[in-house]
Structure 1
Amino acid sequence: MTTTREAPDILSAEFASDPYAAYRVLREDYPLLRHEATQSYIISRYEDVQRAFRDPAFSNDNYDWQLEPVHGRTILQMSGREHSVHRALVAPAFRGNELREKFLPVIERNARELIDGFRSSGSADLVGDFATRFPVNVIADMLGLDKSDHSRFHGWYTAIIAFLGNLSQDEDVAAAGLRTREEFAAYMIPIIQDRRANPGDDLLSTLCSAEIDGTWMTDEDIKAFCSLLLAAGGETTDKAIASLFRNLLEHPEQLAAVRDDRSLIPQAFAETLRFSPPVHMIMRTPTEDVTLSGGVVPAGSVVTGLIGAANRDARRYAEPDSFDIFREDLATKTAFSAAADHLAFALGRHFCVGALLAKAEVEVGANLLLDALPGLELRGDAAPPELGVFTRGPEALPVRFTPSASWSASSSPSPVA
Structure 2
Amino acid sequence: MTTTGSRPLAELESFAAGTTDIDPYPRYARLRETSPVVYSDALQAWLVTRWADVTRCFKESASFGPMASGSGSSGIYGRTILHMTGDEHRRKAAIVARRIRNRRELRGALGDRVRVLVEELGSDLPAAPETVDVRAGLTAPLPLTVIAELMTMHEVDVFPRWCHDLAAASVSNVNRDPQVHARGVRARDGIDAWLAPAIERTRAEPGENLLSDLCTVEYEGQRLADAEITSNTAFFLAAGIETTDRALVNLLGGLADDPGQWERLRAEPALVPSAVAEGLRWKAPVQGSVRQALVDVDLGGVPIAAGEKLILLLGAANRDPEVFGDPDTFDVARFADDAGPQFTPVGPMRSFGGGEHTCSGSLLAKLEMEAALTHLLGRYRRIVPAGDRPADAGFMLRSAPALPLQLHP
Once the 2 structures are TM-superposed, how far is the Cα of residue 127 of structure 1 from its aligned partner? Answer: 1.3
Out of 146, 149, 158, the residue aligned to residue 141 of structure 1 is 149
- Matches for 1:49-128 after TM superposition, within 5 Å: 49-65=54-70, 67=73, 69-94=75-100, 95-119=102-126, 122-128=130-136
- Matches for 1:379-398 after TM superposition, within 5 Å: 379-380=386-387, 383-398=389-404
Classify 1:213/1:101 alpha carbon distance in 2 versus 1 (closer, same or farther; 3 Å): farther
Q: Match for residue 244 of structure 1?
A: 251
Q: Do 2:49 and 2:312's aligned partners in 1 also have CA atoms closer than 8 Å?
A: yes
Classify 1:84/1:15 alpha carbon distance in 2 versus 1 (closer, same or farther; 3 Å): farther
Rounded Cα–Cα distance in structure 2 between residues aligned with 1:401 and 1:304: 38
Classify 1:210/1:106 alpha carbon distance in 2 versus 1 (closer, same or farther; 3 Å): farther
Q: Match for residue 21 of structure 1?
A: 26
Letter in 2 for 1:352: C
Q: Do 2:281 and 2:349's aligned partners in 1 also have CA atoms closer than 8 Å?
A: yes
Q: Do 1:119 and 1:372's aligned partners in 2 also have CA atoms closer than 8 Å?
A: no
Once the 2 structures are TM-superposed, how far is the Cα of residue 315 of structure 1 from its aligned partner? Answer: 1.7
Once the 2 structures are TM-superposed, how far is the Cα of residue 330 of structure 1 from its aligned partner? Answer: 8.3
Q: Match for residue 362 of structure 1?
A: 369
Q: Deviations over 1:221-252 (max 9, x none)?
A: 22222211111111111001111111111221
Q: Deviations over 1:88-140 (max 9, x none)?
A: 22211112113332312221222222223224574311112211221111111
Rounded Cα–Cα distance in structure 2 between residues aligned with 1:146 and 1:169: 31
Classify 1:390/1:82 alpha carbon distance in 2 versus 1 (closer, same or farther; 3 Å): same
Q: Deviations over 1:248-302 (max 9, x none)?
A: 1122111111123222111011111111001111111122222222411122211
Classify 1:196/1:99 alpha carbon distance in 2 versus 1 (closer, same or farther; 3 Å): farther
Out of 305, 310, 318, the residue aligned to residue 317 of structure 2 is 310
Once the two structures are aligned, what percentage of the paired residues are identical? Answer: 33
Once the 2 structures are TM-superposed, how far is the Cα of residue 208 of structure 1 from its aligned partner? Answer: 2.4
Q: Match for residue 340 of structure 1?
A: 347
Rounded Cα–Cα distance in structure 2 between residues aligned with 1:362 and 1:253: 20
Rounded Cα–Cα distance in structure 2 between residues aligned with 1:320 and 1:351: 22
Rounded Cα–Cα distance in structure 1 between residues aligned with 2:237 and 2:14: 29
SS at match of 1:386: coil
Q: Match for residue 51 of structure 2?
A: 46
Q: Match for residue 209 of structure 1?
A: 216
Rounded Cα–Cα distance in structure 1 between residues aligned with 2:363 and 2:189: 30
Classify 1:395/1:105 alpha carbon distance in 2 versus 1 (closer, same or farther; 3 Å): same
Number of equivalences: 398
Counterpart check, 1:351 vs 2:358: yes
Q: Do 1:8 and 1:25's aligned partners in 2 also have CA atoms closer than 8 Å?
A: no
SS at match of 1:182: helix
Counterpart check, 1:11 vs 2:16: no
> Which sections of structure 1, spanning at least 5 residues, go unmatched?
404-417
Moved over 4 A (4+): 66-69
Rounded Cα–Cα distance in structure 2 between residues aligned with 1:104 and 1:345: 20
Rounded Cα–Cα distance in structure 1 between residues aligned with 2:274 and 2:406: 25
Letter in 2 for 1:145: M
Once the 2 structures are TM-superposed, how far is the Cα of residue 70 of structure 1 from its aligned partner? Answer: 2.1
Superposed CA RMSD: 2.3
SS at match of 1:400: strand
SS at match of 1:394: coil
Classify 1:96/1:255 alpha carbon distance in 2 versus 1 (closer, same or farther; 3 Å): same
Q: Match for residue 407 of structure 1?
A: none
Once the 2 structures are TM-superposed, how far is the Cα of residue 328 of structure 1 from its aligned partner? Answer: 6.3
Out of 262, 272, 276, the residue aligned to residue 265 of structure 1 is 272
Classify 1:292/1:125 alpha carbon distance in 2 versus 1 (closer, same or farther; 3 Å): same
Counterpart check, 1:233 vs 2:240: yes
SS at match of 1:229: helix
Rounded Cα–Cα distance in structure 2 between residues aligned with 1:59 and 1:292: 11
Q: Deviations over 1:137-169 (max 9, x none)?
A: 11112222234x35x222112111211211221
Q: Match for residue 286 of structure 2?
A: 279
> Which sections of structure 2, spanning at least 5 residues, go unmatched?
none
Once the 2 structures are TM-superposed, how far is the Cα of residue 79 of structure 1 from its aligned partner? Answer: 1.3
Q: Match for residue 161 of structure 1?
A: 167
Classify 1:64/1:5 alpha carbon distance in 2 versus 1 (closer, same or farther; 3 Å): closer
Rounded Cα–Cα distance in structure 1 between residues aligned with 2:190 and 2:408: 43
Rounded Cα–Cα distance in structure 2 between residues aligned with 1:329 and 1:154: 35
Classify 1:192/1:244 alpha carbon distance in 2 versus 1 (closer, same or farther; 3 Å): same
Classify 1:343/1:400 alpha carbon distance in 2 versus 1 (closer, same or farther; 3 Å): same
Rounded Cα–Cα distance in structure 2 between residues aligned with 1:32 and 1:274: 21
Letter in 2 for 1:142: L
Greater alpha carbon shift after TM alignment, 288-297 vs 317-326: 288-297
SS at match of 2:342: coil
